[in-house]
Structure 1
Amino acid sequence: MKKIDWYFDFISPFSYLQGELLHTLPAEVEIRYKPVLFAGLLNHWDNKGPAEIAPKRTWTFEHCAWLACKHGIPMTMPPHHPFNPLPLLRLAIALGSSPEVVQRLFRWVWREGRVPTDEIYWQALLKEFDATPEMLDAPGVKQQLRANGEAAIAAGVFGVPTAVVDNRCFWGLDSTDMLIAWLRDDPFFSSEQLRQAQQLPQGVHRKT
């Protein structure tokens, strides 16, 4: 049985959308859900998130709305974005990061349109899980989130969502079909075409 480490952040609409499509993966794979702070990945790789580039921000949400419509996935935008996802990430870890918990938290944000600063709704969500603020502040929870981030970076993860399987990263919603092909031993992955893509030399460097 192949095991997939699926790295995600609740701040990411693409993570939500891919999460809704994970059921299309072969049934014999095991998915291990790994909450990770997207901002930490951006800082490590000296990158910007799509919400930090004005025209890309607009396109990102237009594209996500289109993809949700295309796949028949309900989607309601939160009241603002970006937001602080740490409470959600820690809640997921405190509750064991089970598929059911992760899906519920994603849907709370991207179907119900909530964020943790909506105090009334946040408290209701905690009550739903019999969770307390103290659970989220537990040293073990914080350490696990840091460990997830370190493991992601060590695996070469630079964005979310990313599925890591057989030491190979599949980044983004658009890679879902490619991931499925890998799991089904598609001959593309031993092709000359892929080898050339992997070995393409770097050309000019952008001045900084």
Structure 2
Amino acid sequence: MQARWYFDFISPFSYLHWQKIRPLAEAGRVEPVPIVFGAVLAALQIRGPAEIPRKREFIYRQAVWQARRDGTAIAFPPQHPFNPLPALRLCVAAGATPAAIGTLFDAIWREGRLPDSAAALAGEGAALGIADVAGAIADPAVKDALRANTDAALAAGVFGVPTLAIGEDLFWGNDSHELMLAVLDDPGLLREGPLAGVAVLPVGVERAR
């Protein structure tokens, strides 16, 4: 069964989950797919967690706590949210390989550097064999590929990052990793019993918009 891991470098939880999902990507069990989370939010007409002041404060603390719990080093970049497009496009230009993804995540979330320009990513580009970072991230084919990834995520129903799509089923967030592993090992887990029942629970009341 196809499993795709949708992520954006803007998300600290994508960075934290990458530490767990990387071995599956390297083994070919999961395909990492960089997407533009901001475009997903715009398409769904919802606000991101960092756009709600008190929620922003909470998720930053939660990310630091999860990193400490998981034994993962984390250093926030000097500002957040930031423009993730240069990093996402460089990732696509480098083939979205585990090495490329890891290099970029580490620069942003382990070293705490802002990845919002070609100049800022020159070192990462060189490490990935891309000397002309500005040219790579301006390549129309790279931009189209990132756009296609994001469209595919929306078509799959993705609403947040990181999200692992296993067939038609979506699993969101760093803390869903154990459930992801269980379903990867047994896709039928969601087709019977309480896990199947909650998926068809009727809506009782809908909030006026």
Q: Using structure 2 for the length normalisation, give the TM-score.
A: 0.91
- Relative distance call for 1:181 and 1:109 in structure 2 (3 A) is same
Partner in structure 2 of residue 191 of structure 1: 192
What is the CA deviation profile of residues 38-89 of structure 1, one whole-angstrom value per residue up to 9, with x for unaligned ones? 0011011111111000110011010000100001011011101000000000
* Structure 1: 5+ residue stretches without partners: none
More helix by share: 2
8 Å CA contact 1:9–1:85 kept in 2: the answer is yes
Partner in structure 2 of residue 91 of structure 1: 90
Partner in structure 1 of residue 30 of structure 2: 31
Partner in structure 2 of residue 167 of structure 1: 168
Partner in structure 1 of residue 136 of structure 2: 135
Give distance in 1, aligned partners of 2:146 and 2:117: 23
8 Å CA contact 2:24–2:30 kept in 1: the answer is no
Partner in structure 2 of residue 206 of structure 1: 207
Partner in structure 2 of residue 41 of structure 1: 40
What is the CA deviation profile of residues 109-143 of structure 1, one whole-angstrom value per residue up to 9, with x for unaligned ones? 00000112477643333333333211111110000
Percent identical: 40
Amino acid at match of 2:131: A
8 Å CA contact 1:26–1:180 kept in 2: the answer is no
Partner in structure 1 of residue 81 of structure 2: 82
Partner in structure 2 of residue 58 of structure 1: 57
8 Å CA contact 2:77–2:114 kept in 1: the answer is yes
What is the CA deviation profile of residues 21-44 of structure 1, one whole-angstrom value per residue up to 9, with x for unaligned ones? 115659865221211000011011
Give distance in 2, aligned partners of 1:74 and 1:151: 31
8 Å CA contact 2:22–2:98 kept in 1: the answer is no
Give the match's secondary structure for 1:74. coil
Q: Does 1:67 align with 2:60?
A: no
Further displaced range: 62-71 or 29-38? 29-38
Partner in structure 1 of residue 147 of structure 2: 146
- Relative distance call for 1:11 and 1:128 in structure 2 (3 A) is same
Give distance in 2, aligned partners of 1:185 and 1:87: 37
* Structure 2: 5+ residue stretches without partners: none
- Relative distance call for 1:190 and 1:28 in structure 2 (3 A) is farther
Give distance in 2, aligned partners of 1:35 and 1:139: 16
Give distance in 1, aligned partners of 2:190 and 2:106: 34
Give distance in 2, aligned partners of 1:26 and 1:112: 23
Aligned length: 207
Amino acid at match of 2:53: A
Q: Using structure 1 for the length normalisation, give the TM-score.
A: 0.92
Give the root-mean-square deviation of aligned CA atoms: 2.0
- Relative distance call for 1:153 and 1:4 in structure 2 (3 A) is same
Amino acid at match of 1:102: I
